[in-house]
Each structure stands twice: as C-alpha cells, then as structure tokens.
C-alpha cells in the first residue's frame, strides 16, 4: 500500500537532467541586460575558467559539441580518403566529424569490461596497414569512464596519428598515469585536441554549447579563425588593411559561436562542477552496492577512480522488458548507444552486423539508469527497488512455470 502511494506520487524520473540554480538564472539575466548577447566578454571568461578547471593552456567555446568535433577534424586537416579510428559505442557525432571532412571512419571494437575503445584492437588495425594509412584516433571517455590517454598517445606517436579525445561525458574525470599522477581529461598533455558538450544532460549545461581544449597555440589560433567564418580582424594576420572596419576571410569557416548568455550559464554551472561530480560518484556507489550481489545484473559501471559518471550503466539479459517495466513505473531509462556502425548511414557505407561482436553484445544488454546530481535519495531507492522487483517478479514467474511442469 505504502509502495503504491510512493509510485503514484513519484514524478517521472528521467535518465539525466540539468540542475539550474537561482545563481545560474541571475547570471543569465545579468548578461541579457548587458551590452553583449554574443561576441562579448563572457566568452573569454568562460574559456579561461574552463581551461583552469581542466588544466589546459587554451579553451575555445563553441555552439555545441558537434561543432567542436567538426572544427577539430578541420584543424587537423582531415581529407577525403583519410582514415580515422573510433569506437562504435559512442554518439554518432564522434564519427560524423570525420565524414564532414570527407574522411573514412574505421571502427574498432570495445573492451568488454570498460566499454571503451579497445587499444589492442586499435593497434591491430594500425599494424594491418602501412604507416600513414590512418591519420588519427578519436577515443571517447564513454559514460564518463576515462580512457588511458598516456597509452593512446604512445600508440598514436608510433604511427604518426593525431588524437581528438571526445570527453563530452567526462569533464572533471581523470586517469592515473604510469607515474601515479592523476591526469584530468582534456588537460592537453596527451591528446592534440579534446572536446566537451554542454547539452543539458551533461555535467555542465548551457542549453547547447561545446568547448575544445588544447595546449597547442597553432591549433588554438586556427580554431579561433574557423569558429567565425574563417574571418580575422587581427592586424598581425591581415594581408592588407583598409581601416578600422577591415577584415579578411582567410579560410572557409563557420558560425559556430556560443552566445554570451550561454557562456554566463556555463560560468555559473562550472562553479558547481565538482559538487555535481561528487554527487554523481555517490549515486554510482549506491547503485553498485545495491546490485553487486544480484546475479541478473550481468555487468555494471562499478566504482572506478576518476570516472565522471555521466551515465550509470547496467547490463541485463532482458533489457527491453526491464526498460518497458521501468517506464511503466515512470522511470525513464535510456540506451547508450546503438552501435554507430549499425546506424543505417554507416551501414550504407559498408559497415555490417557482426563486425564488432563485443559492441553489439553490449548494445543488446545495456541500460542507463537515472544519474544526475539532483536525483533524490528516495528516487534512487525507488529505481533500485523497481529493478529488483522486476527480477523478483520474473524469477517467480519462471519458477512457477517450472513447478507446473513438474506437477
């Protein structure tokens, strides 16, 4: 009876959502009332604060994570026919940036335990072709679990590849290097470029928004140009100068700018980033404890140092039934991701079912449980209880069926 009341009262629980505080709202209002809605001072303020948080030399704010990926591929000069390696278990944008520039995406399978791009599979691919065949690698800190970028850098250097790290899921996440030092995702020491997204379900929400971090001054300058149509007014870069109004379009770029009011929201959100991360880690710990002795949970994200827990993923045999059951209880889980090589567009380019068995097996079983800093303790307990109920209910049904057979 008590449980039923709880269920009725419980608001829908999504898998992820933004946390907007009164300070965030105030920061946006102040910027809306200021002289600049875009191309104003909030952009550099956000970039500087983000670079400081991540530990990189430079940061470039952009309209969204996809635009960030596109400009990275452009800045690294991806050309038609060039091959770039990435993981099938990511959002399509990680791969699409290569296609925007006419390059070819080559997928490599994931590691079954971490769900991340398997470095051994990448090495096999690199070895299988003459050096220079592959231009770059795009590892993804999927779900917030961080890639060991030191190992990837070593491998990339051996084969003359650049690295774009897709850290959309992992601002504040880190891996521990061979000297025992924690290295924050995107600090510029290992990848050429790292990208982040500020979509509302991510750690820092701007509505839409993205960031690139790097330690390369050359790439930084190139990205600034590409972000605004390839146009510059910098006197030191101009071929001619007709006066104060004069600008030159020196490359084919885009308008991929973030607005100042989005940047103001980002600055305000960034102040709470560590708090949010700590809360995500606490939620992950609770899920892990709740399910660690449950044999129906085939695998789960677990408690991992440096994990930024954008998502908490469990793997179960009857995923669709569990998903539907939880929906019927107002719990809106999600599946991350349909393997990119199986999306119709990539299949039309030649990818096939069966090519990456671990990624495909993972997809059959994965489910992302609600994970966001404002998830209340009673809401998480409700989710845990319903997941357990599902297995209890199904087990009972099976046991009854079997016992009927014996009768």
How are beta strands 366-369 and 312-316 bridged, if at all? antiparallel
- Only one of the segments 88-96, 121-129, 246-254, 386-394 lies at the binding site for ligand PLP (rule: CB under 6 A); that segment is 88-96
Minimum distance, C-beta of residue 199 to ligand PLP, in the bound complex (Å) = 4
- Only one of the segments 64-72, 224-232, 247-255, 356-364 lies at the binding site for ligand PLP (rule: CB under 6 A); that segment is 64-72
Single residue of 65, 172, 306, 370 touching ligand PLP by CB under 6 A: 65
d(CA 385, CA 369): 12
3-state secondary structure of 398: helix
Q: Do the beta carbons of residue 305 and residue 172 sit within 8 Å? A: no
Instruction: Tell me if 172 contacts ligand PLP by CB under 6 A.
Output: no
3-state secondary structure of 85: strand
d(CA 138, CA 15): 26
Q: Do the beta carbons of residue 12 and residue 330 sit within 8 Å? A: yes
Instruction: Tell me if 47 contacts ligand PLP by CB under 6 A.
Output: no
Single residue of 109, 166, 192, 360 touching ligand PLP by CB under 6 A: 166
- Only one of the segments 86-94, 154-162, 223-231, 255-263 lies at the binding site for ligand PLP (rule: CB under 6 A); that segment is 86-94
Instruction: Tell me if 213 contacts ligand PLP by CB under 6 A.
Output: no
Q: What is the dihedral of CA 378, 380, 383, 385, to 10 degrees?
A: -60
Work out the burial of residue 322: count CB atoms within 10 Å of its CB; fewer than 13 is exposed, 13-18 middle, 19 or more buried: buried
Residue 109 or 165 with smaller CB distance to ligand PLP: 165
Residue 16 or 306 with smaller CB distance to ligand PLP: 16
Minimum distance, C-beta of residue 304 to ligand PLP, in the bound complex (Å) = 18
Residue count at the site for ligand PLP (CB under 6 A)? Answer: 14
Q: Which helix (H) or strand (E) holds 51?
A: helix 41-54
Alpha-carbon distances, residue 308 vs 52, 289, 305, 317 (angstroms): 18, 18, 9, 26
Instruction: Tell me if 86 contacts ligand PLP by CB under 6 A.
Output: no
Minimum distance, C-beta of residue 89 to ligand PLP, in the bound complex (Å) = 10
200 Cβ neighbours under 8 A, 6+ residues apart: 16, 17, 18, 207
258 Cβ neighbours under 8 A, 6+ residues apart: 38, 43, 46, 61, 62, 63, 206, 209, 210, 266
Instruction: Tell me if 71 contacts ligand PLP by CB under 6 A.
Output: no
Single residue of 56, 66, 86, 194 touching ligand PLP by CB under 6 A: 66
- Only one of the segments 81-89, 91-99, 102-110, 259-267 lies at the binding site for ligand PLP (rule: CB under 6 A); that segment is 91-99
Minimum distance, C-beta of residue 231 to ligand PLP, in the bound complex (Å) = 23
- Return the residues of window 108-147 that contact ligand PLP according to CB under 6 A: 140
Residues β-bridged to residue 248: 232
Residues that bind ligand PLP (CB under 6 A): 64-66, 90-91, 93-94, 140, 166, 168-169, 197, 199, 210
């Amino acid at each position: 009876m008590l449980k039923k009341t709880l269920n009725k009262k419980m608001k829908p629980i999504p898998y992820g959502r933004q946390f907007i505080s009164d300070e965030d709202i105030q920061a946006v209002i102040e910027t809306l009332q200021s002289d600049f809605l875009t191309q104003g001072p909030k952009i550099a303020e956000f970039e500087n604060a983000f670079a400081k948080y991540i530990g990189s030399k430079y940061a470039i704010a952009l309209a969204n994570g996809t635009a960030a990926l596109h400009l990275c591929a452009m800045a690294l000069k991806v050309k038609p026919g060039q091959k770039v390696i990435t993981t099938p278990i990511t959002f399509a944008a990680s791969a699409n940036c290569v296609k925007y520039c006419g390059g070819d995406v080559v997928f490599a399978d994931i590691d079954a335990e971490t769900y991340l791009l398997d470095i051994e599979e990448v090495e096999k691919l690199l070895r299988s072709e003459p050096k220079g065949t592959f231009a770059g690698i795009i590892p993804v800190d999927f779900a917030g679990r961080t890639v060991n970028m030191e190992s990837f850098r070593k491998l990339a250097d051996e084969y003359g590849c650049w690295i774009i790290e897709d850290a959309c899921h992992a601002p504040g996440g880190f891996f521990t290097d061979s000297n025992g030092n924690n290295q924050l995702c995107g600090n510029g020491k290992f990848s050429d470029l790292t990208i982040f997204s500020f979509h509302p379900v991510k750690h820092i929400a701007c509505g839409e928004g993205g960031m690139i971090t790097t330690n390369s001054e050359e790439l930084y300058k190139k990205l600034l140009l590409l972000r605004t149509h390839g146009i510059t007014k910098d006197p030191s870069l101009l071929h001619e100068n007709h006066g104060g109004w004069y600008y030159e379009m020196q490359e084919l770029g885009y308008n991929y700018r973030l607005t100042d009011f989005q940047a103001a929201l980002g600055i305000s959100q960034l102040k709470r980033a560590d708090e949010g991360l700590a809360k995500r880690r606490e939620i992950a710990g609770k899920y892990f404890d709740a399910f660690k002795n449950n044999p129906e949970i085939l695998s789960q994200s677990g408690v991992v140092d440096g994990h930024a827990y954008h998502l908490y993923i469990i793997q179960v045999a009857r995923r669709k039934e569990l998903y539907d059951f939880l929906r019927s209880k107002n719990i809106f889980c999600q599946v991350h991701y349909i393997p990119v090589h199986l999306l119709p567009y990539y299949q039309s380019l030649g990818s096939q079912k069966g090519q990456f068995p671990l990624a495909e097996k993972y997809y059959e079983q994965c489910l992302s449980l609600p994970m966001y800093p404002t998830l209340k303790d009673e809401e998480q307990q409700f989710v845990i209880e319903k997941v357990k109920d599902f297995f209890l209910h199904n087990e009972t049904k099976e046991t009854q069926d079997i016992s009927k057979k014996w009768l």
